Each structure stands twice: as C-alpha cells, then as structure tokens.
Amino acid sequence: MGSTGPCAVGPYELLVRLATGGMAEVFIAHRTGEGAGGGEPDGEGAGGGEPDGEGAGGGEGASGAAGSGEPLVAVKRIRADLRSEPGYAAMLFDEARIASRIASPHFVPVLDCGLDGGGAPYIVMELVVGVTLKHLTRPPDTLDVGDALDLIAQAAEGLHAAHEARDSSGELLQVIHRDMSPSNILVGVDGRARICDLGLAYALRRTTRTKTGTVKGKLSYLSPEQAHARPLDRRSDVFSLGVVAWEAVAGRRLFVGSSMLSILHAVLEREVPPLSSEREGVGAAVSAVVARALERDRDARWPTAADFARALRAAAEREGHAPSRGRVGARVDAILPEPLKPLAPSSGPGGPRATPEIIAALRSMHAAGVTGEADESGALAPRRPSRT
C-alpha cells in the first residue's frame, strides 16, 4: 500500500488508485475546493501512459468539501519516479490539449489540468463507471451481435469527433489516435462506449513528436501503413477499429502470432475470414461492412469513421441485430471491479456524484487495500483470483 496520510493534487483529493504503469497512475478523486486550481487545457496535443500493473490507493486527508455533490473524477498523473523528466509532462499536457478539443458523448472528456504542489503535472477526466471492451469481450464470453455492432458504431462516432477536432482558429488538428484497441474503448454501466487514451495520438501541433520510422500502437491492431511505418491519415484508425469490430463479433482474436514479426506478417498478409463464417446469424451485409474497414489498400476502406458507423448501423438493422444498451449496462455492472461497485447506482451524466457516503466507502476501500487490476487504458478492470 502507499501512504495512508493526506494525498491531493491541486484541489483534488485522491481516494483510490485505479492503476499504475509505464508512465502514469490514475486515481478516483473528488474536488475539495482547496489547493491551487488547475489549468484549462487549451491546445492540440496528446500523451499518456499505459498502466500495466496494480496500484494502491490515495490518502484520507484533504478534507475540503466532502459530499458537495460534485462528480467524482479520474485524475491521471506522472509516476513519481518519472516526474523529473520534462518530456513526460509535455506528453500529459498534450493529451489534455487534444482531448479538450473533442466534443462527443463517445469520447472521455478532459475537464482540467495543472501542476500539483510539487510541480508535477496532472490531468482530470470524467470518471467512467465501467470496464474496457477488452474485459467485456474476454473469451469465452461473447456479446450479442447487435450489442457488439452498436458499441463499435458508438466508438466510431467518438473516433470521428477526434478526427474532426479543430483548434481555436478553426483549423483541423489532423488527429490520428494510432492506438485503437479494445483496451482503449470504455463501456459504462449506461451501455455507452467511449474512446479514451490519446497517449500515442498524432496531432498537427503536438509538442511531443514520434521519431521518424517509429511504429506506435499495439501490434495486433496496427494498420498496414502503421506496420510499414508510413505516413498516416484517419483511415489508419478505421482499419484498427475494423479489427476491433471483427473480434467483438467473432469472439476471437484476428491477427495473432508467436513473435512480433509473425504478428506483423499476419497484419500485412493473412487472409481475413468473413464474419459470416465466424458467427452464426451474421449475414453478408455486416460481413461486407467490416471487410471494407479491413481493406489493406486504404483507398478502398471507409473514408471516415462516421461512414463506418453509419454502414454498421444500417447493416445491423437490415439483418435484424437489435442492440440493447440496458443489456450491455447490466453485463458491465455484473463485472465491475470492487472499487466501482458503490458508484454504479449514482452514475449518470457527468459521472457519479461525490456524496459523503461514497467518499467514506472509497476511503475505507483504500484503508483496506482494495485496488483495481490495471489495464492498458488506465481504467479499472475486474480483479481475478490469485493463483496459488
């Protein structure tokens, strides 16, 4: 466990640590009204970490305005051992600046950013009470076809909003996510999908840059042009989301291999089976829509994520695959990790509310050592039993 004393960044009390990993740690937090105020994200960058281990909770101090009824939030900050590296701070603020320009119910918004008392950067995001699509579709579980297609269509709409983001002068930022995968799609108890984690995103005036020829993203979800380290446009993200769509419907991974080279070979060369051969009840219409997203020639793909979303919805309706957000929400609720369970009843637009009872419950969980299992997105994932 971490420190049991007061733990706050700016005006936010950190209640329970959600995850920690390669660059960042993420906490459930609430605004106390005390401490230095954060800054307003106002530019066009991106950044962030990929939490990959377990973390411990925040503190019990920073009493402030507990129970004010304001939404609980997710606070993301650089790991303590990396805070002296200026590049990481720039990456985190880049993430805040890009996200602040994306307006969509299917993209996790950044609400605030700033420096804590020690000069370490942090960003504040809406807290999603849910799990990642990765955990929602973990084999042997499969989603109803209609639910899977609806979640992908929602994600495509959020992705399109990112692609269409503009700066204060109205100039297109040319955002490319570059890391579309099931780990970066959050699904809430409201049955709604939201894109998250702009840690590897490209934008026109991002302050931190990727070295030329460097491949970014998870190998199994790379577009062919990413695998070749070629210049990208929004159609690269369409391909990656096409992989996610294929897997969500088929219930298995698409591009797998025993090594990095074998995975890249699969991305570039392996034949993609039609979904109609993978899942009973899936017809030619749905298969064709997903197959077009997975065209290796990007000129043959859907030109935008919005086109992909519209085509998915039309094909699903044509084949009679009716979605149910209530059904999805119930499934999410059933697998919520322990720290999020008390938040589900109060979860609504803007996130769960910071009532005195909920704050006390989260502090008690921290004191008892309850944490979430880390996930690449920085979101809580269901805890699995320890192996003996």
| Model confidence at 65: pLDDT above 70 | no
Question: What is the pLDDT, as a whole number, of residue 24?
Answer: 78
112 is catalytic: no
Place of tokens 């769960």: 352
Place of tokens 């960058």: 45
pLDDT band of 365, cuts 50, 70, 90:
confident
- Do 43 and 37 form a contact (C-beta atoms < 8 A)? no
pLDDT: is 52 or 267 the higher one?
Answer: 267
**pLDDT tens-digit readout, 119-178:** 788 989 999 999 999 999 988 889 999 999 999 999 999 999 999 999 989 999 999 999
Question: What is the pLDDT, as a whole number, of residue 54?
Answer: 30
Lowest mean pLDDT among 58-62, 78-82, 375-379: 58-62
| DSSP at 252 | S
Phi, psi (rounded to 5 degrees) for 58: -85, -160
Residue type, 65: A
Q: By percentage, how much of the chain surpasses pLDDT 90?
A: 54
pLDDT band of 348, cuts 50, 70, 90:
confident
Place of tokens 């307003």: 40
Place of tokens 């990993």: 21
Lowest mean pLDDT among 194-198, 245-249, 364-368, 383-387: 383-387
| pTM listed for this prediction | 0.84
Phi, psi (rounded to 5 degrees) for 345: -65, -25
Q: Which of 116, 179, 190, 197 is catalytic?
A: 179
Question: What is the pLDDT, as a whole number, of residue 376?
Answer: 40
Q: Is the dihedral of CA 384, 244, 93, 75 positive or negative?
A: negative
Question: What is the pLDDT, as a whole number, of residue 337?
Answer: 80
Query: Rounded to an integer, what distance in angstroms lies between the CA atom of residue 242 and that of residue 302?
Result: 10
- Best CA proximity match to 125, nearest among 153, 99, 106, 150: 99
Query: Rounded to an integer, what distance in angstroms lies between the CA atom of residue 368 and that of residue 356?
Result: 18
| DSSP at 109 | P
Which segments of the chain belong to CATH 1.10.510.10?
Answer: 130-326
Please list the residues that pair with 12 across neighbouring strands.
Answer: 9, 31
Phi, psi (rounded to 5 degrees) for 286: -65, -45
Question: What is the pLDDT, as a whole number, of residue 41?
Answer: 52
- Alpha helix positions (H), the chain: 86-99, 133-136, 145-163, 224-227, 234-250, 260-269, 284-293, 305-319, 325-334, 356-368
Query: Rounded to an integer, what distance in angstroms lies between the CA atom of residue 274 and that of residue 284?
Result: 8
Which segments of the chain belong to CATH 3.30.200.20?
Answer: 8-128+336-368
- Do 134 and 82 form a contact (C-beta atoms < 8 A)? no
| Model confidence at 36: pLDDT above 50 | no
For the domain covering 130-326, report its CATH number.
1.10.510.10
For the domain covering 8-128+336-368, report its CATH number.
3.30.200.20
- Do 56 and 369 form a contact (C-beta atoms < 8 A)? yes
**pLDDT tens-digit readout, 291-308:** 999 999 999 999 999 999
Radius of gyration of the chain (CA): 20
**pLDDT tens-digit readout, 237-280:** 999 999 999 999 999 999 999 999 999 999 999 999 999 999 99
- Best CA proximity match to 339, nearest among 6, 10, 14: 14
Question: What is the pLDDT, as a whole number, of residue 42?
Answer: 46
pLDDT: is 40 or 108 the higher one?
Answer: 108
Bond before 140 cis per omega within 30 degrees: yes
Question: What is the pLDDT, as a whole number, of residue 381?
Answer: 42
Cα maximum dimension of the chain: 59
What is the mean predicted confidence (pLDDT) over 35-48?
Answer: 41
Q: DSSP letters along 217-230, please?
A: S-GGG--HHHHTT-
Question: What is the pLDDT, as a whole number, of residue 75?
Answer: 93
pLDDT: is 383 or 320 the higher one?
Answer: 320
Question: What is the pLDDT, as a whole number, of residue 34?
Answer: 57
- Best CA proximity match to 24, nearest among 73, 98, 93, 72: 93
Question: For 4-36, what is the HEC assignment?
Answer: CCCCEECCEEEEEEEEEECCEEEEEEEECCCCC
| Model confidence at 364: pLDDT above 90 | no
Across the chain, the runs of DSSP E, i.e. the strands, are 8-9, 12-21, 24-31, 51-53, 73-78, 110-115, 121-126, 130-132, 185-188, 193-195
**pLDDT tens-digit readout, 96-136:** 888 889 999 999 999 998 888 877 889 899 999 999 999 99
Q: What is the mean pLDDT of the chain?
A: 82
